[in-house]
Amino acid sequence: MRHTRARISSVIALLVLPSLLAAQEMQPPREEGKFRAPDLVELVEVDKTIKLDVRYATPNNFTGRAVYAEARAFLQRPAAEALARAGRALRRKGYGLAVFDGYRPWHVTKLFWEVTPEDKKQFVADPRRGSRHNRGCAVDLTLYDLKTGRPVSMPGEYDEMTERSHITYAGGTEEQRRLRDLLRAAMEAEGFLVYEPEWWHYDYKDWREYPILNVGFSEIAPRKNRARAGH
């Protein structure tokens, strides 16, 4: 995957910034129907044992550029509380949750679609329909070992656009597959469903009840307010 990611990054690196700026000027698709009022909460405030590895706030992602200004992760409150319950169950088995991404503004989804090669589109969401990340009901995550604090090894890497990412991929080691399946069992027990091409991506069961959003992290919960509150 290292070489694949390098090739993708080299092709799209010069396109990311102008594409991001253009995407921010666009608007999400209009939706019909009634939706729940958004109630996005910061994951580390709901469960302080969650570790963050928000690659999209760094150049260490498939675009080769930071697309988030802040390394933070949010979910709709029911999804965040369900994630915390999954985390408690996993801690009893010696593992914690490490989150790569949660809520994602729609303009970032549009950027991902534009810079991803056609043969890799299954790994990104079509902005014309929006992403479950845009609704605050999808989370990308892995496990970390409570004894060492280090992420565990899975059959494939995060955001790897190959067959190794599929939830039923039979390769890798027995231990890697065991940990992948352990994460899946804990998440499914709390109402999450895996996106089969990506072992790390889970959608919360109520995602259809929330609208597509395009608000920035600082608009949800400014850091300065959290600092004054003692967090």
pLDDT for the residue numbered 135: 98
pLDDT for the residue numbered 228: 37
CATH number for the domain that contains residue 87: 3.30.1380.10
pLDDT for the residue numbered 14: 43
pLDDT for the residue numbered 225: 47
190 within some domain: yes
**Do the Cβ atoms of 135 and 212 come closer than 8 Å?**
yes
Task: Give 132's contacts (C-beta < 8 A, 6+ positions apart).
Answer: 125, 138, 203, 204, 207
pLDDT for the residue numbered 27: 85
62 within some domain: yes
pLDDT for the residue numbered 54: 98
User: Could you give the CA distance from residue 205 to residue 202 in angstroms, rounded to a whole number?
Assistant: 9
Strand partners, 200: none
User: Could you give the CA distance from residue 221 to residue 128 in angstroms, rounded to a whole number?
Assistant: 27
User: Could you give the CA distance from residue 199 to residue 205 in angstroms, rounded to a whole number?
Assistant: 17
How many domains is the chain built from? Answer: 1
**Do the Cβ atoms of 140 and 99 come closer than 8 Å?**
yes
Task: Please state whether beta strands 138-145 and 192-195 pair in parallel, antiparallel, or not at all (unpaired).
Answer: unpaired
> Which positions of the chain have pLDDT values less than 50?
1-4, 6, 8-15, 23-24, 225-231
Please give the backbone phi and psi of residue 74, each rounded to the nearest 5 degrees, phi first.
Answer: -130, 155
Q: What type of residue sits at position 117?
A: P
pLDDT in tens, 8-18: 444 444 445 55
Q: How far is CA 153 from CA 98, 116, 179, 225, in A?
A: 12, 26, 8, 37
Task: Please state whether beta strands 95-101 and 51-52 pair in parallel, antiparallel, or not at all (unpaired).
Answer: parallel
User: Could you give the CA distance from residue 20 to residue 44 in angstroms, rounded to a whole number?
Assistant: 27
68 within some domain: yes
Look-up: residue for tokens 């989150």?
A: 99
**Do the Cβ atoms of 162 and 156 come closer than 8 Å?**
yes
Q: Which of 42, 160, 190, 198 is catalytic?
A: 198
Full domain range(s) for residue 43: 2-28+39-228
pLDDT for the residue numbered 22: 52
Residue 116 corresponds to which tokens in the numbers above? 């991803």
Our answer to whether residue 198 is catalytic in this structure is yes
34 within some domain: no
> Which 3 state secondary structure label does DSSP give 16?
helix
33 within some domain: no
